[in-house]
Chain A
Amino acid sequence: MIEAKHVSKWFDGQQVLYDINATFDTGKTNLIIGQSGSGKTVFMKCLIGLMTPEEGEILYDGRKIRNMNTAQRRQIRTEIGMLFQGSALFDNETVLGNVMFPLKMFSPLSHKEQLERAYFCIRRVGLENADNKYPSEISGGMQKRVAIARAIALNPKYLFCDEPNSGLDPKTSILIDELLSDITHEYGMTTVINTHDMNSVLGIGEKIVFINRGHCDWIGDDKSIFRAKSESLNDFVFASKLFQEVKLVLEREAEAAQK
């Protein structure tokens, strides 16, 4: 479980995160949702320690990252996998090289075992035929898969994904979401996913943290999101035509139930 307690963050005197409290559960896909520019990426970077919040604490299963020394921080980083918004694959390495990278740097396994593990991860994300391609030679969806394979290579306890399906078509998005959800349940990871995509919210939103302009306005799950009282959340959820229809249906249902 990851806990964020009273997290606030400023950039050059400009506050972007306001006193955020949230917990992210083990073995679940935890979603952070919100509009573009609401502070999701900054919040996630605070969670993983790429940025330090000016106020507040982050705890990994009770371990405060602020108090850690360098060795402890490195230890915890080997327990973290991260999927960046733009995949962040190493351009000068092949698919296999990218997945091997964390293994080469940190794994105590022999070279042969490392290769086995890398191929296992590559097969797990369904890329067995692309292992010798370079990132520039494969599609965006495949790049995301490589990034997932790289992120899970060291069997992390915590997996972070920043907009895993930005720039992907709806069908590929769903496949990536399902992959993330399957992996999370298979290995009992604590997965935190940033997204502004309502399809993901409904598909894999086991726990949802809604961020609006740096404030955490609502916490819940995919079942309760349509019945939430938060105005800003409703603005976000029912922004598209499709979900306005859903809203009408829901309202009619509610009326019927009252009668």
Chain B
Amino acid sequence: MIISSINTFGKYCRFLTQVFRAPDKWNVFFKSLVAEIYKLGVDSIPLVIIISLFIGAVICIQMTLNIVSPLIPSYSTGLATREILLLEFSSSMMCLILAGKVGSNIASEIGTMRVTEQIDAMDIMGINSANFIVLPKIIGFTLFIPVLCVLSMFFGLLGGWFIAEFTSMLTVETYVYGIQSFFNEWYVWYGIIKTLFFAYIISSVAAFYGYYVKGGSLEVGKASTNAVVASSILILLADVILTKLLLQ
């Protein structure tokens, strides 16, 4: 178990040395970079918006229901909603969800290219296939993830605002006052920095699992499941380490 993990890690590192090379043709690279940003990033916006809206709303309801002590000021609902969103939800939870969407997409796409010999076809032409296929994905997704993170923060807070506006649980004024009080800008940066690492983990790990698929379509499915599991665990691990480093 331990030995096989070390083996896999070694293979992953070797894979990265192939991926991180200067592209053969920069114009081709930029074209596929734009395509990947669109496919992996822009296409994820609706999912991020919907999930953030609902989770923001739910957090706001939970906070209102559970903070019922007269000692705690009512604006703390908004404050707590904001802190949860900025500190954990919009970075870590969002990336766990995106590991499912983007990670499985990357792993199955590259895995299919492997089993249908498209990767061999590139190798035969003398193209560094790992670099050609994977680098635009990693760079594209990592470049775009801050946008998703900020969108998630915004729409999460908006979700809470809907609760304040359309229910009688709390007033809009206390909510808005709450989400503005004791604001620490660093928390936004903390969230964004975390997502950069998570995006890199998702895209590189998923690409790694897809690139080394052997066999047929069954194995492609397995690889994409494994990619999601592995990247989720690594995200959680990285979350602990980054939080310790960035917030202490």
Quick one: which of A75, A78, A82, A106 contacts B121, CB cutoff 8 A?
A82
Binds A, one of B61-69, B123-131, B201-209: B123-131
Flag whether A123 is at the interface (Cβ < 8 A).
no
> How close is B209's CB to chain A, nearest CB, in angstroms?
19
Q: A223 in the interface, Cβ–Cβ < 8 Å? A: no
Tell me the bound Cα distance from A229 to B121 in angstroms.
Answer: 38
Interface residues of B in 114-169 (CB under 8 A from A): 116-118, 120-121, 123-127
- Is A84 in the interface zone, CB < 8 Å from B? yes
Please report the C-alpha to C-alpha distance between residue A82 and residue B127 in the assembled complex, in whole angstroms.
Answer: 14
Q: Does A104 contact B (CB under 8 A)?
A: yes
Flag whether A254 is at the interface (Cβ < 8 A): no
Assess whether B24 is interfacial by the CB under 8 Å rule: yes
Interface residue tally of chain B, by bracket? 10 to 19
Q: What per-residue 1/0 map shows which CB atoms of A101-117 lie under 8 Å from chain B?
A: 11011100000000000
Give the interface segment out of A18-26, A53-61, A85-93, A208-216: A85-93
Given contacts A73-B126, A86-B116, A88-B116, contact A105 B121 (CB under 8 A): no
Contact assessment for B126 and A84 in the assembled complex, using a CB-CB cutoff below 8 Å: no
Q: Known: A84-B117, A88-B116. Contact between A106 and B126, CB under 8 A?
A: yes
Residues on A with C-beta less than 8 A from B72 are none
Q: Which of A9-64 contact B (CB under 8 A)?
A: 48, 50
B124 adjacent to A48 (CB under 8 Å): yes
Question: Are B125's CB and A88's CB within 8 A?
Answer: no
- Interface size, chain A (Cβ < 8 Å): 21
User: Whole-angstrom distance from the CB of B212 to the nearest CB of chain A?
Assistant: 15
Q: A58 to chain B: closest CB distance in Å? A: 14
- How far is it, in angstroms, between the C-alpha of A2 and the C-alpha of B121 when the chains are bound? 20
Query: Contact: B25 with A88, CB < 8 Å?
Result: no
Q: Is B218 part of the contact surface with A, judged by Cβ < 8 Å?
A: no
Task: Identify the closest chain B residue to A89 (Cβ).
Answer: B118
Q: A80-B124, A105-B127 are in contact. Are A90 and B25 (CB under 8 A)?
A: no
Residues of B within 8 A of A75 (CB): 126
Quote the shortest CB–CB distance from B203 to chain A (angstroms). Answer: 18
Cβ contact of A86, chosen from B24, B117, B126, cutoff 8 A: B117
Q: Which residues 177-204 in B have Cβ within 8 Å of A in the complex? A: none
Task: Give bound CA distance, A89 to B125, whole Å.
Answer: 13
A88: which of B28, B121, B126, B127 is its contact (CB, 8 Å)?
B121
Interface membership of A247, Cβ < 8 A? no
| Chain B residues with CB below 8 A from A6, complex form | none
Are B117 and A105 touching (Cβ within 8 A)?
no
Complex formed: what's the CA distance from A121 to B116 in Å?
23
Which residues of the other chain, A, contact B116 by a CB distance below 8 angstroms? 86, 88, 91
Contact B125 A78 (CB under 8 A): yes
CA distance A105 to B28 in the complex (A): 8
Per-residue CB contact flags for chain B residues 93-129 toward chain A (1 = under 8 Å, else 0) read 0000000000000000000100011101101111100
- Residue A105 contacts which of B112, B123, B124, B125 (CB distance < 8 angstroms)? B125
CA distance A73 to B127 in the complex (A): 11
Chain B residue with the shortest CB-CB distance to A98: B121
Q: Which residues of B contact A86 (CB under 8 A)?
A: 116-117
A88 to B127, CA, bound (A): 15
B117 interface neighbour in A48, A85, A101, Cβ under 8 Å: A85
Query: B73-96 vs A: 1/0 string, CB under 8 Å?
Result: 000000000000000000000000
Q: How far is the CA of A249 from the CA of B126 in the complex (A)?
A: 49
- Those 5 A-B pairs whose CB atoms lie nearest each other, nearest first: A77-B126, A88-B117, A88-B121, A74-B126, A84-B117
Other than the given A80-B124, A91-B116, A91-B118, 5 more pairs (CB < 8 A) read A48-B124, A77-B125, A77-B126, A88-B121, A91-B112
Interchain Cβ contacts under 8 Å between A and B, 21 examples: A48-B124, A50-B123, A75-B126, A77-B124, A77-B125, A78-B125, A78-B126, A82-B121, A88-B117, A88-B121, A89-B118, A90-B118, A90-B121, A91-B112, A91-B116, A101-B125, A102-B125, A104-B28, A105-B25, A106-B125, A106-B126
